[in-house]
Amino acid sequence: MKNLVLTRIDDRLIHGQVMTAWIKNRGAEQVVIVDDATANDEYMIEVLEMAVPEEIAIGIFTKEDGVRFFEQGLDAPTILLVKGPQVLNYLVDNGINIDEVDVGGMGARKDRTVLYKNISTNEGEKEQFNELLEKKVNVYIQVMPQDNPVSISEYLR
């Protein structure tokens, strides 16, 4: 969709200078996080606000509110940040047009195995990624703007 300059999966969400580098790289003016748990955690919201440059507007929404927000179109270059692929399937299924997804960080956890370098997934998340690919969303792994994007599809098998 217009003005959606980056859709990124990163379970660290806003990540200091890494996020700043992406904001600069894409010329973004606003960052929208869609994550139910974060949207319901006032204190976490305040902490995340501290982590973004002051001139960047921020919105933190539940997935239902996220759909409402994106349905209206975007007035300014926007980065969409989520923690995993599931919420992106939800957004796409609810009519939000997302062409490509950057996987930037999914940390190791007991239920996850390494997919590629420091990106780890569990079986459910792999399925969610496959679903996105089936919906013709281009999913690639790229930690930093200067890295070469690596297509996720071959690692899902």
Partner 1 sequence: MINVVLVSHGAFCQGLLQSLKMVAGENFGVKAVSLNEGEAPEEFRIKLEEIIKENHIDSEQETIILSDIPGGTPFQSAAYLAKRYKIGLISGMNLPMLLTLCFEKSRHNSLEELVDKVTSEGSLGVQAKLFKEGEKSKREKLSIDKNR
CB of 91 to partner 1, least distance (A): 14
CB nearer partner 1, residue 45 or residue 131: 45
CA atoms within 13 A on the CB side of 42: 0
H or E, element range at 138: strand 138-141
Q: Which is nearer to partner 1, 21 or 44 (CB)?
A: 21
Q: How far is the CB of 140 from partner 1 (least distance, A)?
A: 14
Q: Summarize as ranges the residues that interact with partner 1 (CB under 8 A).
A: 15-18, 21, 30, 32, 46, 49-50, 52, 54, 56-59, 61, 65, 68-69, 72-76, 117-118, 143-144, 146-147
For partner 1, the closer CB: 62 or 122: 62
* Comparison of 60 and 137: residue with beta carbon closer to partner 1: 60
Cβ of residue 5: shortest distance to partner 1, in angstroms? 14
User: Between 123-134 and 85-93, two packed helices, what is the crossing angle to 10 degrees?
Assistant: 30
Which pair of tokens denotes residue 50?
Answer: 């501290």
Consecutive H or E run containing 133: helix 123-134
Q: How far is the CB of 89 from partner 1 (least distance, A)?
A: 21
Name the 3-class secondary structure at 131. Answer: helix
Q: What is the pairing mode between strands 113-116 and 119-121?
A: antiparallel
Amino acid at 89: N
